[in-house]
């Protein structure tokens, strides 16, 4: 396949090899840099210019060679720094040693800045429509295209068909800089992270340091936590437009190179060869607007036949009640905790009955403070201790509320993990939830977390039920287990991670962070030196938080107090009224069979 010849066809720059004379009077000037593969004679990578505060930036990734990449600009009577520009030249030849230039086209002057700071890998995507409009209008919209993934030295990791790109995330999707899920045409071992078609591009838009997810994932990996997401920092270009600094990560999925357990989705398909489209099958259970509030309910897909063994191959995620209705399969525990199915996403009634009843046993055992040896028969307590500690170290407000996963292999107990989503951790959250201060690394937080339970009236934090982390931390045997896990290997992993991320990782990331900050106005300035200083301050703050919280755990893990901060009497009384009315409403829903009202 010609690598990305189709890229130009998908872009607004589908003019001839040198488009200076291709625009009629009045057409807007277009300028871009294109890297050509001289051996194959095709376009490899394209970067459009981008206007920021009256200047036109060309954000050059590490994978583009300024000595061979050529600068193109449309219009007539074009000059670059006063010299006539009648044919495309390499960036080095066109701009020399200068990083800024005055480009004149059709009598209009454009102040152009060539920014080549990046030292990370790059991803070039061309969507089929040449636009992201449909995806941004509907997160679930899927679009095909082409993709090239290149390491910082210009070596190709993947070059070919993009099976799909679509939006991802919940609160992060509402931000200006969007995260995406991508699916390649074939399984590929990108950057040594294991073969897969499915990958995520994490935007980290709410994290000015760009290192919080990397810090948590690296520590979890070094601590030996199973199936921890792997990651590589990348610059992302979509349809020639620089979209910023992203984290290319593995996805939480069942696969031999990801969560290596039985794949029930595949087993369901094999057990139902006559079903052409499982996604189109009818739904059962409580799946309406208020389903996430209804305790002891579940929802499923009416799959005709189950595989012989349905005791394993599950990945489940704790989720907020207001998000539950948008998922295909799931269940709500007797204590109001909603779970959605990550795998199999399309689960049968029998499968939902099995995994919901299994987790309910785990929840009941934790709340009953059973002996750890008894609990370990149905829950891998070591993984539970690891997950508690990594979340406590990060002061992760979402822990045991959302983005909190468990997986159940065949013949084994339930396991906690893998880790996921830490962009609001390490002090990056000043919300006063549960009375906890998530910005203070000297404070314990996750062991005080409570369920974020919604009511029919909207997003109210009501009832103040403790999460399973809160409850299990009141068990002295569990805290003793967590103490051993921390001092045996997790403390060491955390300290090594802080050194690595604060050194080699940040040094490699800085140039990409500068470009990202200009593109998205992260620090309110385009001055490179000022951005570098601000980025250094941001990363230093995150790393200091990580060091201090590690010391807090080391000095107090065995003596941690687990009495959640109390809400004041007036607020608590008001919440009690809300809960009472809400519970009556829920009973009415069940009594009149309204579980599936929209």
Answer for the pair 70, 36: CB distance below 8 angstroms, yes or no: yes
pTM for the model = 0.93
How many whole angstroms separate alpha carbon 581 and alpha carbon 586? 9
Between 212-222 and 528-556, two packed helices, what is the crossing angle to 10 degrees?
Answer: 40
Contacts of 393 (CB under 8 A, 6+ apart): 219, 494, 546, 549, 550, 553
pLDDT value at residue 300? 98
In angstroms, how far is CA 543 from the centroid of its own chain? 21
- Nearest residue to 311 via CA among 226, 376, 407, 418: 407
Residue 502: strand, helix, or coil: helix
- Angle, CA 414 vertex, CA 360 and CA 229 arms, to 5°: 125
DSSP 195: E
Omega cis (within 30) before 366: no
Say how many C-beta atoms besides its own lie within 10 A of residue 204's C-beta.
Answer: 25
Say how many C-beta atoms besides its own lie within 10 A of residue 483's C-beta.
Answer: 18
pLDDT value at residue 373? 94
What does the chain come to in residues?
598
How many whole angstroms separate alpha carbon 222 and alpha carbon 412? 24
Beta strand 231-238 pairing with 121-127: parallel
pLDDT value at residue 80? 94
Answer for the pair 288, 299: CB distance below 8 angstroms, yes or no: no
Beta strand 297-301 pairing with 241-250: unpaired
**437 to 80, 440, 445, 511: CA distances (angstroms):** 55, 6, 7, 33
How many whole angstroms separate alpha carbon 451 and alpha carbon 337? 7
How many whole angstroms separate alpha carbon 271 and alpha carbon 284? 19
pLDDT value at residue 546? 98
- Full strand arrangement of the beta sheet holding 283-285: 283-285, 297-301, 330-332, 338-343, 314-318, 404-408, 415-416
Say how many C-beta atoms besides its own lie within 10 A of residue 453's C-beta.
Answer: 24
pLDDT value at residue 25? 38
Element (H, E) at 461: strand 458-462
In angstroms, how far is CA 16 from the centroid of its own chain? 39
How many whole angstroms separate alpha carbon 211 and alpha carbon 428? 12
Residue 180: strand, helix, or coil: strand
Answer for the pair 110, 134: CB distance below 8 angstroms, yes or no: no
* CA atoms lying within 13 Å on the CB side of residue 161: 8
pLDDT value at residue 384? 98
- What string of pLDDT tens digits covers the 598 residues of the chain? 344 444 443 343 433 333 333 333 334 688 999 987 665 555 679 999 999 999 999 999 999 999 999 999 999 899 999 999 999 999 999 988 778 999 999 999 999 999 999 999 999 999 999 999 999 999 999 999 999 999 999 999 999 999 999 999 988 999 999 999 999 999 999 999 999 999 999 999 999 999 999 999 999 999 999 999 999 999 999 999 999 999 999 999 999 999 999 999 999 999 999 999 999 999 999 999 999 999 999 999 999 999 999 999 999 999 999 899 989 999 999 999 999 999 999 999 999 999 999 999 999 999 999 999 999 999 999 999 999 999 999 999 999 989 999 999 999 999 999 999 999 999 998 876 777 889 999 999 999 888 877 788 777 777 778 899 999 999 999 999 999 999 999 999 999 999 999 999 999 999 999 999 999 999 999 999 999 999 999 999 999 999 999 999 999 886 665 455 667 788 888 888 888 898 898 899 988 888 888 7
Say how many C-beta atoms besides its own lie within 10 A of residue 379's C-beta.
Answer: 26
- Nearest residue to 445 via CA among 463, 419, 460, 424: 424
* Tokens 């040094």 -> residue: 507
Contacts of 177 (CB under 8 A, 6+ apart): 203, 205, 243, 244, 520
**155 to 92, 120, 152, 433, 439: CA distances (angstroms):** 21, 12, 7, 46, 41
How many whole angstroms separate alpha carbon 218 and alpha carbon 306? 38
How many whole angstroms separate alpha carbon 576 and alpha carbon 586? 15
In terms of DSSP H, where are the helices of 158-227?
A: 212-222
- Nearest residue to 457 via CA among 575, 566, 570: 575
Contacts of 230 (CB under 8 A, 6+ apart): 193, 194, 217, 221, 249, 250
Residue 357: strand, helix, or coil: helix
Answer for the pair 494, 227: CB distance below 8 angstroms, yes or no: no
Answer for the pair 77, 107: CB distance below 8 angstroms, yes or no: yes
């Amino acid at each position: 396949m010609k690598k990305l010849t189709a890229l130009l066809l998908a872009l607004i720059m589908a003019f001839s090899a040198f488009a200076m004379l291709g625009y009629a009077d009045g057409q807007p000037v277009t300028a871009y840099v294109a890297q050509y593969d001289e051996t194959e004679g095709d376009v490899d990578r394209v970067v459009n210019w981008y206007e920021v505060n009256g200047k036109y930036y060309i954000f050059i990734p590490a994978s583009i060679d300024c000595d061979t990449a050529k600068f193109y600009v449309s219009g007539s009577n074009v000059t670059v720094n006063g010299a006539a520009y009648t044919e495309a030249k390499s960036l080095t030849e066109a701009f020399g040693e200068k990083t800024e230039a005055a480009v004149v086209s059709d009598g209009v002057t454009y102040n152009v800045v060539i920014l080549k700071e990046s030292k990370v890998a790059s991803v070039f995507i061309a969507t089929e429509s040449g636009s992201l409009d449909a995806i941004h209008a509907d997160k679930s919209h899927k679009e095909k295209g082409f993709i090239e993934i290149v390491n910082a030295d210009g070596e190709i990791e993947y070059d070919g068909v993009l099976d799909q790109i679509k939006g991802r995330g919940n609160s992060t999707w509402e931000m200006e800089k969007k995260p995406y899920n991508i699916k390649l045409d074939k399984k590929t071992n990108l950057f040594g992270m294991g073969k897969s078609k499915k990958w995520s591009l994490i935007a980290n838009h709410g994290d000015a340091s760009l290192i919080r997810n990397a810090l948590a994932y690296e520590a979890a990996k070094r601590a030996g936590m199973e199936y921890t997401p792997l990651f590589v920092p990348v610059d992302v270009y979509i349809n020639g437009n620089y979209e910023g600094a992203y984290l290319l990560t593995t996805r939480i999925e069942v696969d031999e190179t990801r969560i290596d357990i039985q794949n029930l989705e595949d087993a369901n398909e094999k057990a139902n060869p006559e079903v052409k489209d499982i996604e189109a099958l009818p739904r059962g259970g409580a799946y309406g607007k208020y389903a996430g509030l209804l305790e002891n309910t579940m929802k499923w897909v009416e799959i005709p036949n189950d595989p012989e063994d349905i005791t394993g191959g599950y990945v489940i995620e704790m989720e907020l009640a207001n998000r539950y209705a948008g998922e295909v399969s799931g269940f709500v525990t007797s204590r109001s905790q909603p779970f959605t199915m990550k795998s199999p996403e399309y689960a049968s009634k029998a499968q939902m009955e099995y995994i919901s009843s299994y987790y309910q046993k785990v929840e009941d055992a934790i709340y009953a403070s059973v002996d750890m040896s008894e609990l370990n028969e149905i829950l891998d307590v070591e993984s539970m201790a690891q997950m508690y500690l990594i979340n406590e170290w990060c002061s992760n407000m979402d822990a045991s509320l959302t983005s909190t996963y468990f997986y159940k292999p065949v013949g084994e107990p339930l396991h906690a993990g893998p880790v996921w989503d830490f962009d609001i951790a390490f002090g990056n959250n000043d919300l006063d939830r549960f009375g906890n201060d998530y910005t203070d690394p000297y404070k314990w937080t996750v062991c005080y977390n409570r369920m974020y339970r919604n009511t029919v009236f909207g997003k109210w934090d009501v009832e103040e039920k403790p999460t399973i982390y809160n409850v299990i931390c009141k068990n002295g045997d569990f805290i003793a287990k967590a103490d051993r896990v921390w001092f045996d290997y997790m403390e060491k992993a955390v300290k090594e991670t802080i050194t690595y991320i604060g050194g080699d990782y940040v040094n490699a990331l800085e140039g990409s962070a500068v470009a990202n900050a200009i593109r998205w106005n992260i620090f309110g300035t385009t001055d490179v030196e000022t951005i570098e200083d601000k980025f250094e301050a941001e990363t230093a703050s995150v790393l200091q938080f990580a060091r201090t919280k590690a010391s807090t755990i080391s000095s107090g893990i065995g003596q941690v107090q687990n009495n959640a901060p109390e809400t004041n009497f007036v607020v608590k009384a008001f919440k009690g009224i809300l809960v009472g009315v809400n519970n009556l409403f829920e009973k009415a829903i069940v009594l009149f069979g309204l579980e599936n009202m929209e």
